[in-house]
Amino acid sequence: MLFMGDYIQFVLLILVCSLRCSVTQYTFTQCTNDVQQRIYQSTLNAECTLRYETVNLNAGNFTNAVQTIPSQTVVKRCGGACFSVSHSCYPTKSKMVQVEALVVSTSFGEGYWKTQCAIFQVREDEACACGCQVRPDDCHSLQYYQKETCQCICKNWKGRNSCVKDKVWDPRTCSCMCKPSSWRVCSTGYVYDAIDSCECVQTYVIAGPPGLIIIIVALVSSASLLIILFIIRNRSNKKSKSKHQLKDQSVESLQEPIAPLDSSALDSSYKRVPQC
């Protein structure tokens, strides 16, 4: 039977053992010139260079594929350490190599196995260098490039500081997002709002004010266009109506009857003419 003191010692022993097992053990020694030289020489074995790396052959593009033979291949890839903390080892020149393999697939309807020969395209590096993998062109309008750390930093640091506790800051989009643990599948007609409410909302609500503004502008533009077309049509109708009126008046003036001549007036004028 264990007493309370023995039980406490047993618990402390377990805690000390767990800490020792989880933490990398190291001790400080005297750093002489010989020790420093050996350390720098050992870094050459871990420098950035071409190394053989095992790559999986993914047969996901094949229908009902259950096995790939071989399932892996070995190619040269860039790897190793760089002296600058912010730099990383990346390829400066690569090529695609062809790897032959067998893909075994099955047909659930017919129940037999089928083996096909396939050619996989795998990237193989040819040259490496230490530097910033992230370039200034990789930063978007809400970010600026920090050369010392080779990173794209968000400009709106105030938005990051004001990000509430139930949300997380996304450095890629520079926005305050809902926690991934709160994401869920929504029913038809609804979509998950991962920015504001962290809930399922109707599809027309998720568009937000910009979508509503676009709709209003489109409606106003359409109404203005219809009004302009109506005015132009009325003007053209008035012009055609006035032309028809002028034409009718001219036709009526031509159709008026000519007044008959007075024969008595002609006789009187004839009598006034002196005879020779």
pLDDT value of residue 3: 46
State which residues of the chain have pLDDT below 70.
1-25, 61, 63, 108-111, 204-215, 238-276
Could you tell me if residue 11 is left (phi over 0), alpha (psi between -120 and 50 degrees) or otherwise beta?
alpha
Give pLDDT, residue 73: 95
pLDDT at 272: 47
The residues spanned by each domain of the chain are 43-133
- Burial (Cβ within 10 Å: 0-12, 13-18, ≥19) of residue 153: middle
Which is nearest to 132 in space by CA: 180, 192, 92? 92
Q: What is the reported pLDDT for 186? A: 86
Task: Give the model's pLDDT for residue 193.
Answer: 85
Instruction: Name the architecture of domain 43-133.
Output: Ribbon (2.10)
